[in-house]
Structure 1
Amino acid sequence: MYPQVPNQCPPGQYPNPQYNAMPQYPQQMPQQQYQSPTPQMAPQMQQYPQQYPQQVPMNQMTPQQQQMFQSMDLDNSGTIEVGELITAYKHMNFPERAGRLLLLAVTDKPHIDRQTFPAFDNMVQTLYRAFAQFGLPAVNAQRVEQALISCQFQVSTAQVHQLVKKYGQDDGCDFGQFLGIASYLLLCRKLIAKFGGNQGRVVLDLQGLTNLGMWFV
């Protein structure tokens, strides 16, 4: 059985009571307020302009993002560490290794700060819209591939099946597991940009391979 995607929580509440202060996927909110999508909103999502993770600017946080940041910053340090990130997504069955990949994909720092959080939040919302278009709590590998392609990830069918086996279960995945797959692909894209320049490929010597391997430790 797959964990259910949270789609029936009262506005401003997480399924886990520990995160009730975080505005997570509410059903209805007044216009002009921060609103995270639900699978039931998929038909309306088709009319929205696409925003892809690699195009998200690092803007100042909105008041709603400020509230969410403070809720995720459990130790009030002004930063979100990998442990806090994993805890925040625990109710979504978000694997620890995926949390570490997501952090590496978003920033070169060992944490998310107030400057990088808007890009992080926008990325998560973009990925959720792609997942929510099917209106299901869990999707098979074919739909995972469709969702990834809609976010302009360049990935083959064979690669998708391997990623679903690694991060999902029973030839499918829920949103937390899908987020893990996307985090891995975002990190791969970042590594290509960092080590491959404009060539779209990476050629490494031993020193370069050592440096590259540090990203995955």
Structure 2
Amino acid sequence: MFDKGFQMIPNQVMTQMGMGKHQPKNTGMSKQNNNIGMNLAQQGMNMAGNMIGGMMGQGKQQPMSKNMNTTQQSSNKGMNNNNNQGYGMPQMGMQQPMGMAQQGMNIMGGMMGQVDPMAMARFNALDADHSGSITVEEIQKAYQQFKFSAQSAKLLLQAVSDKTFIDAQTFPIFDQYIMSFFNVFMQCSIGQPTIQAPQVQQAVMMLNFKVEQSTLTDLIQKYDADKNGLEFGEFMSICAYLLITYKLMTKFDQKKAGVLTLDMNSLQALCLMFI
């Protein structure tokens, strides 16, 4: 029942968003069009959250406590601050299907506020043996309709935790990133199963990742193994990789100058992230 419910989500979201024939995206999208896309995406993700909550017996999802305009203003303020540091920070304000940002989420350091009860209910459903942890392989199966690999899930886990498994603290952050990446992918793909380089560039900008064009091109070539455009799982791998680089900058760039100065111990710790 749980897996079947997840399989329904993408189709329901696409229906809600009015997905039709693919049209080229303008990377210089006007503010008005962007707001329309954000509102459509929010409707779709609210539907997804309501469906999941219904499956788990949690009832209808409560509306977000802050409107999209307030969220966008906060995100823009955060974007400016991070640009001053020399590197960008992924934007979570635009994508809040479970309302976690209002609960005080520290993106790299876990939850500082109360844990979302809907996320906890989903975690408990996945933790069938009540061990307090679930593997990335179990996550992959639970989100199977999103079609990401265990390796993609592992990369995302490395970005949000130093553990090799997902626990009750990690899961809400992990879950929100997946839903956020999926939200943006759906906006940029316009219902198509893949996105091309221009749409990838637009998507990472919407998530407020700061990355050079040449680096993004290399990442696309690395993760688009079949060279037919990025599927969601491949796009998720790129996002997870960029999150890892941000995590490393946060950890080792103590002066927030956008430059790493490493001793041998730091270099060895850094390299462990990519083994």
What secondary structure is seen at the aligned counterpart in 2 of 1:94? coil
**In 2, distance between residues paired with 1:124 and 1:38?**
16
Match of 1:147 in 2: 203
**In 1, distance between residues paired with 2:173 and 2:203?**
19
Match of 1:157 in 2: 213
Measured after TM superposition, the shift of residue 126 of structure 1 is: 1.5
Residues 10, 146 of structure 2: 8 Å contact kept: no
> In proportion to residue count, which structure has more helix?
2
**In 2, distance between residues paired with 1:128 and 1:39?**
15
**In 1, distance between residues paired with 2:187 and 2:125?**
27
Residues 73, 79 of structure 1: 8 Å contact kept: yes
Counting matched residue pairs gives 193
**In 2, distance between residues paired with 1:21 and 1:91?**
10
Match of 2:168 in 1: 114
Which stretch has the larger CA shift, 183-192 or 123-132? 123-132
What secondary structure is seen at the aligned counterpart in 2 of 1:138? coil
Encode CA deviations 1:158-207: one digit per residue, 9 max, x unaligned.
22221112112315211111111100100110011011121222122222
Match of 1:190 in 2: 247
Question: What amino acid does structure 2 have at the position aligned with 1:83?
Answer: E
Task: Rate the CA distance shift 1:205–1:143 in 2: closer, same or farther, 3 A.
Answer: same
Question: What amino acid does structure 1 have at the position aligned with 2:221?
Answer: K
Identity %: 33
Question: What amino acid does structure 2 have at the position aligned with 1:211?
Answer: A
Encode CA deviations 1:5-44: one digit per residue, 9 max, x unaligned.
xxxxxxx76xxxxx2254762655xxxxxxxx44752786
What secondary structure is seen at the aligned counterpart in 1 of 2:236? helix
Residues 89, 176 of structure 1: 8 Å contact kept: no
Residues 86, 94 of structure 1: 8 Å contact kept: yes
**In 1, distance between residues paired with 2:185 and 2:200?**
8
Name the larger-Rg structure: 2
Give 5+ residue unaligned stretches, structure 1.
Answer: 1-11, 14-18, 29-36
Matched, 1:211 2:265: no
Task: Rate the CA distance shift 1:92–1:26 in 2: closer, same or farther, 3 A.
Answer: closer
Match of 2:38 among 46, 70, 77: 46
**In 2, distance between residues paired with 1:39 and 1:105?**
31
Measured after TM superposition, the shift of residue 154 of structure 1 is: 0.5
RMSD value over aligned CA atoms? Answer: 2.9
Match of 1:104 in 2: 158
Question: What amino acid does structure 1 have at the position aligned with 2:200?
Answer: V
**In 2, distance between residues paired with 1:163 and 1:216?**
14
What secondary structure is seen at the aligned counterpart in 2 of 1:105? helix
Question: What amino acid does structure 2 have at the position aligned with 1:207?
Answer: N
Question: What amino acid does structure 1 have at the position aligned with 2:38?
Answer: Q
Question: What amino acid does structure 2 have at the position aligned with 1:138?
Answer: T
Give 5+ residue unaligned stretches, structure 2.
Answer: 20-32, 43-67, 76-90, 94-99, 106-110
**In 1, distance between residues paired with 2:92 and 2:38?**
17
Matched, 1:179 2:236: yes
TM-score normalised by L of structure 1: 0.74
**In 2, distance between residues paired with 1:163 and 1:24?**
30
Question: What amino acid does structure 1 have at the position aligned with 2:167?
Answer: D
Question: What amino acid does structure 2 have at the position aligned with 1:164?
Answer: I
**In 2, distance between residues paired with 1:193 and 1:39?**
39
